[in-house]
């Protein structure tokens, strides 16, 4: 249980953050401008299977939930890639923190898939080797992903951060990275066609749905209530696909508010680089208001 000092600290921080988020015009909700790049590129976002087909089988639903998480990861990549060269010296420490939060989120997501989700799904689906292609996709970007974090971690001072160098490293694995996050969604959808796939409405189908659901919740919470959780919520665009996912992930509004504002208060300086505001509206990328830092 947190002590009262922690509670008071977080409450004050939360109030300050709420004030800041509401008052600072740079932080105000703003749809992506047509002239500046936003977090929907260079990596294209994923069209969710449910939006594309209206199917409601367990694999379409599981893949759709996964697509929401993957889109937040892609918006994270894009927000870092787009802003990196524009970050001012003053903002560098927080930007490095934001980029490292993204890295840890992706790494944790990957490890959790390999260790927990993939074996469980394989068991409930009843065919082995269904993740073989996915393993290979993972391997194709893991080194580049680690290089990104290594670059950030070895900086003697935040001042030494070079946004063009970060971009260069990210470019080295961008293609297999983006391809994987799209491909895995198609892979999950395709499990519905396996001869061993659970029959709709069967006990096995209920089990399979439960695997995706409990994994999804656990994997996000594991990334940390002051790190991965605010990162995810601030990179979920509630206007995406005509606003069909505005209420995802399902939770009462005050809980969501607390996760963003109280959980987010601890590292509040980082979140100005996120692609969406505290209510989930897309906003202009913060650092793009500054010129590029040509050395
Ligand atoms: C899915 O359903 C919605 C609402 O009924 C409809 O507007 C949309 O066109 C459908 N999409 C497809 C691909 O069938």
Residue 22 pLDDT: 44
Helix (H, G, I), strand (E, B) or coil at 280: coil
Question: Which among 49, 51, 53, 54 is the best mutation to test ligand 1's pocket, defined by most ligand atoms within 8 Å of the CB?
Answer: 54
Sign of the torsion angle spanned by Cα atoms 38, 52, 212, 181: negative
For the cut 90, the answer to whether the pLDDT of residue 32 exceeds it is no
- Nearest residue (CA) to ligand 1, atom 2: 54
Residue 256 has pLDDT above 60, yes or no: yes
**Domain count of the fold of the chain:** 1
154 lines ligand 1 (CB under 6 A): no
Residue 83 lies in a domain: yes
Residue 31 lies in a domain: no
**Ligand 1 centroid to 88 CA: how many Å?**
45
What is the DSSP-derived secondary structure letter of residue 38? -
Distance CA 231, CA 253 (A): 17
Q: How far is the CA of 51 from the centre of ligand 1 (A)?
A: 7
235 located within any domain? yes
Q: Whose CA is nearest to atom 10 of ligand 1?
A: 54
Are the beta carbons of 63 and 209 closer than 8 angstroms? no
Q: Distance (Å, rounded) from C-alpha 211 to C-alpha 118?
A: 10
DSSP reduced 3-state for 282: strand
CB atoms within 10 A of CB 266: 18
Q: How much is the pLDDT for 35?
A: 84
* Residue 281, phi then psi, degrees to nearest 5: -85, 135
The tens digit of pLDDT for each residue in 171-184 reads 999 999 999 999 99
Which atom of ligand 1 lies at the shortest distance from residue 53's CA?
13
Is 54 a pocket residue for ligand 1 (Cβ < 6 Å)?
yes
Token representation of residue 55 = 């199917």
Residue 53 Cα to ligand 1 midpoint, Å, equals 8
- Please determine, for residue 209, whether its predicted confidence score (pLDDT) is greater than 70: yes
The answer to whether 165 and 151 have CB atoms below 8 angstroms apart is yes
pLDDT digits (tens, 9 = 90+) for 236-255: 999 999 999 999 999 999 99
Cα 246 to averaged position of ligand 1 atoms, centre (Å): 17
Omega prior to 42 cis, within 30 of 0 = yes
3-state secondary structure of 276: strand
> In the predicted model, is pLDDT for residue 19 greater than 50?
no
- Determine the straight-line distance between the first and last CA of the chain, rounded to whole angstroms: 48
**Phi/psi-derived region of residue 32, left when phi > 0, alpha when psi is between -120 and 50, beta in every other case:** beta
Is residue 157 in a domain? yes
190, part of any domain = yes
Question: Ligand 1 centroid vs 54 CA: distance in angstroms?
Answer: 6
Output the pTM of the full model. 0.90
In a domain, 159, yes or no: yes
> What tokens were used for 30?
């703003």
Residue 82 CA to residue 80 CA, distance in Å, equals 6
DSSP H helices in the chain: 4-23, 49-53, 58-83, 92-112, 118-125, 132-154, 163-190, 203-222, 229-233, 240-243, 253-261
246 lies in which domain range? 53-289
181 domain-assigned: yes
Q: Is the pLDDT of residue 13 over 70?
A: no
CA 245 to CA 228: how far, in whole Å?
20
- Eight-class DSSP state of 44: P
| HSE toward the beta carbon, residue 266, CA cutoff 13 A | 16
- Residue 267: the pLDDT is 96
97 occurs within a structural domain? yes
């Amino acid at each position: 249980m947190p002590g009262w000092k922690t509670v008071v600290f977080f409450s004050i921080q939360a109030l300050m953050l709420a004030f800041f988020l509401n008052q600072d015009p740079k932080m105000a909700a703003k749809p992506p401008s047509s002239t500046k790049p936003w977090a929907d590129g260079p990596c294209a976002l994923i069209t969710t299977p449910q939006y594309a087909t209206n199917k409601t089988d367990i694999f379409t639903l599981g893949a759709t939930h996964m697509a929401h998480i993957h889109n937040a990861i892609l918006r994270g990549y894009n927000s870092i890639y787009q802003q990196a060269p524009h970050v001012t010296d003053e903002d560098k420490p927080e930007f490095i923190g934001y980029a490292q939060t993204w890295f840890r989120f992706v790494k944790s997501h990957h490890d959790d898939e390999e260790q927990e989700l993939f074996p469980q799904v394989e068991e409930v689906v009843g065919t082995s080797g269904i993740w073989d292609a996915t393993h290979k996709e993972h391997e194709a970007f893991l080194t580049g992903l680690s290089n990104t974090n290594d670059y950030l971690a070895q900086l003697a001072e935040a001042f030494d951060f070079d946004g063009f160098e970060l971009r260069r490293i990210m470019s080295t694995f961008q293609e297999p990275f983006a391809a994987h996050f799209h491909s895995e969604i198609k892979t999950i959808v395709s499990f519905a066609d396996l001869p061993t796939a659970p029959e709709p409405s069967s006990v096995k189908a209920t089990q399979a749905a439960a695997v995706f659901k409990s994994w999804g919740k656990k994997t996000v919470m594991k990334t940390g209530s002051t790190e991965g959780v605010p990162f995810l919520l601030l990179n979920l665009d509630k206007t995406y696909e005509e606003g069909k996912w505005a209420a995802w992930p399902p939770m009462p509004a005050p809980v969501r508010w607390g996760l963003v504002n109280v959980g987010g208060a601890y590292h509040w300086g980082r979140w100005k680089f996120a692609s969406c505001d505290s209510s989930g509206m897309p906003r202009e990328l913060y650092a793009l208001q500054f010129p590029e830092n040509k050395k």
